[in-house]
Amino acid sequence: MFRRQPSPLPGYGLTLGFTISYLSLVVLLPLGFLLLKTSGVGWSEFWRYVAAPRAVAAYRLTFLASFIAASLNVAGGLLLAWILSRYEFPGRRLVDALVDVPFALPTAVGGLALASVYAPNGWIGRWVAPGSVVGTFFGPEGVKLAYSRTGVVIALVFVSFPFVVRTVQPVIQMLDKGLEEAAATLGAGRLRTFVQVILPTLLPSLLTGFALAFARCIGEFGSIQYMSSNLPYETQIAPQLIIEHLDAYEIEAALSIAIFLLMVSFVLLGVINLLEARARRFQAA
Protein backbone atom coordinates (compact mmCIF):
# COMPACT_ATOMS: atom_id res chain seq x y z
CA MET A 1 0.00 0.00 0.00
CA PHE A 2 1.31 3.40 -0.99
CA ARG A 3 2.27 5.56 1.96
CA ARG A 4 2.80 9.24 1.56
CA GLN A 5 6.22 10.35 2.64
CA PRO A 6 6.15 13.13 5.19
CA SER A 7 7.36 16.45 3.86
CA PRO A 8 10.62 17.72 5.38
CA LEU A 9 9.07 21.19 5.42
CA PRO A 10 6.22 21.57 7.91
CA GLY A 11 3.11 23.29 6.61
CA TYR A 12 4.01 22.73 2.96
CA GLY A 13 0.40 22.17 1.83
CA LEU A 14 -0.89 25.22 3.70
CA THR A 15 1.84 27.53 2.45
CA LEU A 16 1.49 26.25 -1.13
CA GLY A 17 -2.25 26.82 -1.05
CA PHE A 18 -1.82 30.32 0.34
CA THR A 19 0.82 31.12 -2.30
CA ILE A 20 -1.37 29.95 -5.17
CA SER A 21 -4.39 31.79 -3.80
CA TYR A 22 -2.42 35.00 -3.29
CA LEU A 23 -0.89 34.77 -6.78
CA SER A 24 -4.31 34.15 -8.28
CA LEU A 25 -5.91 37.13 -6.54
CA VAL A 26 -3.08 39.52 -7.32
CA VAL A 27 -2.00 38.42 -10.82
CA LEU A 28 -3.96 35.64 -12.48
CA LEU A 29 -7.52 36.84 -11.86
CA PRO A 30 -6.93 40.45 -13.01
CA LEU A 31 -5.16 39.25 -16.15
CA GLY A 32 -7.85 36.66 -16.77
CA PHE A 33 -10.55 39.30 -16.36
CA LEU A 34 -8.69 41.52 -18.82
CA LEU A 35 -8.57 38.69 -21.36
CA LEU A 36 -12.24 37.94 -20.78
CA LYS A 37 -13.24 41.54 -21.38
CA THR A 38 -11.15 41.66 -24.55
CA SER A 39 -12.64 38.42 -25.86
CA GLY A 40 -15.81 40.33 -26.61
CA VAL A 41 -13.93 42.32 -29.23
CA GLY A 42 -13.83 40.63 -32.62
CA TRP A 43 -10.51 39.86 -34.27
CA SER A 44 -11.08 42.44 -36.98
CA GLU A 45 -11.83 45.14 -34.42
CA PHE A 46 -8.96 44.00 -32.23
CA TRP A 47 -6.39 44.30 -35.02
CA ARG A 48 -7.92 47.57 -36.19
CA TYR A 49 -7.25 49.09 -32.77
CA VAL A 50 -3.85 47.44 -32.36
CA ALA A 51 -2.54 48.22 -35.85
CA ALA A 52 -3.74 51.81 -36.00
CA PRO A 53 -0.93 54.15 -37.17
CA ARG A 54 -1.09 56.11 -33.94
CA ALA A 55 -0.81 52.93 -31.89
CA VAL A 56 2.11 51.63 -33.97
CA ALA A 57 3.98 54.90 -33.44
CA ALA A 58 3.35 54.61 -29.69
CA TYR A 59 4.66 51.00 -29.66
CA ARG A 60 7.77 52.03 -31.53
CA LEU A 61 8.65 54.77 -29.05
CA THR A 62 7.70 52.62 -26.03
CA PHE A 63 9.87 49.64 -26.91
CA LEU A 64 12.76 51.65 -28.35
CA ALA A 65 12.94 53.99 -25.35
CA SER A 66 12.59 51.02 -22.97
CA PHE A 67 15.42 49.17 -24.71
CA ILE A 68 17.71 52.22 -24.62
CA ALA A 69 16.93 52.91 -20.96
CA ALA A 70 17.45 49.28 -19.92
CA SER A 71 20.73 49.11 -21.87
CA LEU A 72 22.02 52.30 -20.25
CA ASN A 73 21.07 50.95 -16.84
CA VAL A 74 22.95 47.71 -17.48
CA ALA A 75 26.15 49.68 -18.03
CA GLY A 76 25.61 52.22 -15.27
CA GLY A 77 24.11 49.71 -12.85
CA LEU A 78 27.02 47.32 -13.28
CA LEU A 79 29.52 50.09 -12.59
CA LEU A 80 27.67 51.33 -9.50
CA ALA A 81 27.11 47.81 -8.17
CA TRP A 82 30.82 47.06 -8.59
CA ILE A 83 31.84 50.22 -6.72
CA LEU A 84 29.38 49.59 -3.88
CA SER A 85 30.52 45.96 -3.54
CA ARG A 86 34.28 46.31 -3.89
CA TYR A 87 35.24 49.68 -2.43
CA GLU A 88 34.87 51.45 0.89
CA PHE A 89 34.51 55.23 0.73
CA PRO A 90 32.88 58.01 2.76
CA GLY A 91 29.15 58.13 2.12
CA ARG A 92 28.98 54.60 0.74
CA ARG A 93 25.90 53.70 2.80
CA LEU A 94 24.18 56.88 1.70
CA VAL A 95 24.84 56.12 -1.98
CA ASP A 96 23.64 52.56 -1.46
CA ALA A 97 20.42 53.86 0.10
CA LEU A 98 19.87 56.40 -2.70
CA VAL A 99 19.74 53.56 -5.22
CA ASP A 100 16.37 52.52 -3.80
CA VAL A 101 14.83 56.01 -3.98
CA PRO A 102 13.01 55.31 -7.30
CA PHE A 103 11.42 52.29 -5.59
CA ALA A 104 9.99 54.33 -2.72
CA LEU A 105 9.28 57.56 -4.56
CA PRO A 106 5.91 57.94 -6.32
CA THR A 107 6.56 58.02 -10.05
CA ALA A 108 4.62 61.27 -10.45
CA VAL A 109 6.88 62.92 -7.87
CA GLY A 110 9.93 61.54 -9.66
CA GLY A 111 8.69 62.91 -12.97
CA LEU A 112 8.05 66.30 -11.41
CA ALA A 113 11.58 66.32 -9.98
CA LEU A 114 13.07 65.34 -13.34
CA ALA A 115 11.08 68.03 -15.15
CA SER A 116 12.27 70.69 -12.71
CA VAL A 117 15.86 69.75 -13.57
CA TYR A 118 15.69 68.98 -17.30
CA ALA A 119 13.00 71.44 -18.43
CA PRO A 120 14.19 74.37 -20.59
CA ASN A 121 14.18 76.57 -17.48
CA GLY A 122 15.53 73.85 -15.18
CA TRP A 123 18.94 73.60 -13.57
CA ILE A 124 20.38 71.44 -16.34
CA GLY A 125 17.95 72.08 -19.19
CA ARG A 126 18.71 75.80 -19.27
CA TRP A 127 22.35 75.11 -20.21
CA VAL A 128 21.40 73.28 -23.41
CA ALA A 129 18.22 75.20 -24.24
CA PRO A 130 18.00 77.39 -27.39
CA GLY A 131 20.19 80.46 -27.04
CA SER A 132 22.26 79.02 -24.21
CA VAL A 133 26.04 78.79 -24.30
CA VAL A 134 26.14 75.02 -24.72
CA GLY A 135 22.97 74.81 -26.79
CA THR A 136 24.41 76.96 -29.58
CA PHE A 137 26.92 74.20 -30.35
CA PHE A 138 24.01 71.90 -31.27
CA GLY A 139 22.26 74.39 -33.53
CA PRO A 140 19.80 77.25 -33.15
CA GLU A 141 17.22 75.00 -31.45
CA GLY A 142 19.67 73.68 -28.86
CA VAL A 143 18.89 70.39 -27.13
CA LYS A 144 15.45 69.67 -25.74
CA LEU A 145 15.77 67.28 -22.80
CA ALA A 146 12.33 67.39 -21.22
CA TYR A 147 9.08 67.17 -23.22
CA SER A 148 10.82 65.16 -25.94
CA ARG A 149 11.83 61.59 -26.76
CA THR A 150 15.02 62.22 -24.83
CA GLY A 151 12.90 63.12 -21.83
CA VAL A 152 11.04 59.82 -22.14
CA VAL A 153 14.35 57.92 -22.02
CA ILE A 154 15.54 59.95 -19.03
CA ALA A 155 12.35 59.18 -17.10
CA LEU A 156 12.60 55.46 -17.92
CA VAL A 157 16.24 55.35 -16.84
CA PHE A 158 15.24 56.91 -13.52
CA VAL A 159 12.43 54.49 -12.68
CA SER A 160 14.25 51.30 -13.78
CA PHE A 161 17.77 52.00 -12.52
CA PRO A 162 17.53 50.11 -9.19
CA PHE A 163 16.58 46.81 -10.84
CA VAL A 164 19.99 46.26 -12.42
CA VAL A 165 21.96 47.39 -9.37
CA ARG A 166 20.02 45.21 -6.92
CA THR A 167 20.20 42.20 -9.24
CA VAL A 168 23.93 42.37 -9.94
CA GLN A 169 25.19 43.57 -6.56
CA PRO A 170 24.70 40.28 -4.62
CA VAL A 171 26.44 38.32 -7.39
CA ILE A 172 29.45 40.65 -7.29
CA GLN A 173 29.64 40.30 -3.51
CA MET A 174 29.77 36.51 -3.84
CA LEU A 175 32.45 36.49 -6.53
CA ASP A 176 35.54 34.55 -5.56
CA LYS A 177 38.41 37.03 -5.60
CA GLY A 178 40.79 34.10 -5.79
CA LEU A 179 39.83 33.63 -9.44
CA GLU A 180 40.86 37.19 -10.21
CA GLU A 181 44.13 36.72 -8.36
CA ALA A 182 44.79 33.47 -10.21
CA ALA A 183 44.17 35.19 -13.53
CA ALA A 184 46.57 37.97 -12.54
CA THR A 185 49.31 35.49 -11.62
CA LEU A 186 48.90 33.87 -15.05
CA GLY A 187 49.61 37.20 -16.70
CA ALA A 188 46.09 38.33 -17.55
CA GLY A 189 45.51 42.07 -17.47
CA ARG A 190 42.55 43.73 -15.79
CA LEU A 191 40.54 44.02 -18.98
CA ARG A 192 41.11 40.38 -19.94
CA THR A 193 40.29 39.25 -16.41
CA PHE A 194 37.04 41.16 -16.50
CA VAL A 195 36.01 39.89 -19.94
CA GLN A 196 37.00 36.23 -19.50
CA VAL A 197 36.57 35.66 -15.76
CA ILE A 198 34.14 38.16 -14.24
CA LEU A 199 31.75 38.97 -17.08
CA PRO A 200 30.65 35.35 -17.79
CA THR A 201 29.71 34.99 -14.12
CA LEU A 202 27.74 38.25 -14.13
CA LEU A 203 26.05 37.69 -17.49
CA PRO A 204 22.94 35.81 -16.19
CA SER A 205 22.28 38.45 -13.52
CA LEU A 206 22.84 41.23 -16.06
CA LEU A 207 20.27 39.66 -18.36
CA THR A 208 17.86 39.34 -15.44
CA GLY A 209 18.37 42.97 -14.50
CA PHE A 210 17.88 44.01 -18.12
CA ALA A 211 14.64 42.02 -18.32
CA LEU A 212 13.28 43.54 -15.10
CA ALA A 213 14.26 47.06 -16.13
CA PHE A 214 12.81 46.60 -19.62
CA ALA A 215 9.52 45.28 -18.27
CA ARG A 216 9.33 48.15 -15.78
CA CYS A 217 9.91 50.69 -18.55
CA ILE A 218 7.16 49.31 -20.78
CA GLY A 219 4.50 49.92 -18.13
CA GLU A 220 5.72 53.28 -16.84
CA PHE A 221 3.25 56.15 -16.92
CA GLY A 222 3.52 58.51 -13.95
CA SER A 223 6.93 60.06 -14.59
CA ILE A 224 6.36 60.17 -18.36
CA GLN A 225 3.46 62.58 -17.83
CA TYR A 226 5.95 65.25 -16.77
CA MET A 227 8.79 64.42 -19.17
CA SER A 228 6.81 63.88 -22.37
CA SER A 229 4.69 66.35 -24.29
CA ASN A 230 2.31 63.46 -25.19
CA LEU A 231 2.23 64.38 -28.87
CA PRO A 232 0.85 61.62 -31.13
CA TYR A 233 3.46 60.14 -33.47
CA GLU A 234 6.17 62.06 -31.62
CA THR A 235 6.41 61.66 -27.84
CA GLN A 236 3.33 59.61 -26.96
CA ILE A 237 3.99 56.16 -25.47
CA ALA A 238 1.57 53.24 -25.35
CA PRO A 239 0.40 53.70 -21.71
CA GLN A 240 -0.46 57.32 -22.48
CA LEU A 241 -2.48 56.20 -25.50
CA ILE A 242 -4.36 53.69 -23.33
CA ILE A 243 -5.27 56.40 -20.80
CA GLU A 244 -6.37 58.67 -23.62
CA HIS A 245 -8.71 55.96 -24.96
CA LEU A 246 -10.10 55.42 -21.46
CA ASP A 247 -10.72 59.14 -21.01
CA ALA A 248 -12.67 59.08 -24.28
CA TYR A 249 -14.64 56.02 -23.08
CA GLU A 250 -13.12 53.93 -25.88
CA ILE A 251 -12.82 50.88 -23.64
CA GLU A 252 -12.40 48.32 -26.42
CA ALA A 253 -9.49 50.21 -27.95
CA ALA A 254 -7.78 50.58 -24.57
CA LEU A 255 -8.23 46.89 -23.75
CA SER A 256 -6.94 45.79 -27.15
CA ILE A 257 -3.78 47.85 -26.88
CA ALA A 258 -3.24 46.68 -23.29
CA ILE A 259 -3.55 43.03 -24.31
CA PHE A 260 -1.15 43.54 -27.21
CA LEU A 261 1.41 45.14 -24.90
CA LEU A 262 0.98 42.22 -22.51
CA MET A 263 1.54 39.69 -25.28
CA VAL A 264 4.65 41.41 -26.60
CA SER A 265 6.05 41.80 -23.09
CA PHE A 266 5.59 38.08 -22.37
CA VAL A 267 7.32 37.14 -25.63
CA LEU A 268 10.26 39.47 -24.99
CA LEU A 269 10.63 38.32 -21.39
CA GLY A 270 10.51 34.70 -22.57
CA VAL A 271 13.31 35.33 -25.06
CA ILE A 272 15.42 37.08 -22.43
CA ASN A 273 14.82 34.26 -19.93
CA LEU A 274 15.89 31.75 -22.60
CA LEU A 275 19.10 33.69 -23.17
CA GLU A 276 19.64 33.82 -19.41
CA ALA A 277 19.21 30.05 -19.11
CA ARG A 278 21.69 29.47 -21.93
CA ALA A 279 24.15 31.81 -20.26
CA ARG A 280 23.84 29.85 -16.99
CA ARG A 281 24.40 26.53 -18.80
CA PHE A 282 27.43 28.01 -20.55
CA GLN A 283 28.73 29.26 -17.19
CA ALA A 284 28.23 25.83 -15.60
CA ALA A 285 30.04 24.12 -18.47
Residue 58: which domain range?
A: 42-284
Residue 26 inside a domain? The answer is no
Q: What is the CATH number of the domain that holds 77?
A: 1.10.3720.10
Asked if pLDDT for residue 1 goes beyond 60, the answer is no
Residue 34 inside a domain? The answer is no
Residue 157 inside a domain? The answer is yes
> Per-residue pLDDT averaged across 37-52, rounded?
82
Q: Name the more confident of 151 and 272.
A: 151
Residue 144 inside a domain? The answer is yes
DSSP assignment of 34-81, as one string? HHHHHTTS-HHHHHHHHT-HHHHHHHHHHHHHHHHHHHHHHHHHHHHH
Q: How confident is the model at residue 140 (pLDDT cuts 50, 70, 90)?
A: low
Q: pLDDT for 194-227, tens place per residue?
A: 777 788 888 888 988 998 899 889 989 889 988 9
Residue 4 inside a domain? The answer is no
What span, in angstroms and rounded, lies between the C-alpha atoms of 35 and 80? 40
Residue 135 inside a domain? The answer is yes
Asked if pLDDT for residue 4 goes beyond 60, the answer is no
Please state the domain count of the chain. Answer: 1
Residue 20 inside a domain? The answer is no
Chain-wide mean pLDDT for the chain?
Answer: 84
Residue 14 inside a domain? The answer is no
Asked if pLDDT for residue 183 goes beyond 50, the answer is yes
Q: Name the more confident of 213 and 35.
A: 213
Burial letters 12-40, b for 16+ CB under 10 A, else e: eeeeeeeeeeeeeeeeeeeeeeeeeebee
**What pLDDT does 94 receive?**
93
**What pLDDT does 188 receive?**
73
pTM: 0.84
Note whether 110 and 104 are within 8 A (CB): no
**What pLDDT does 64 receive?**
95
**What pLDDT does 35 receive?**
74
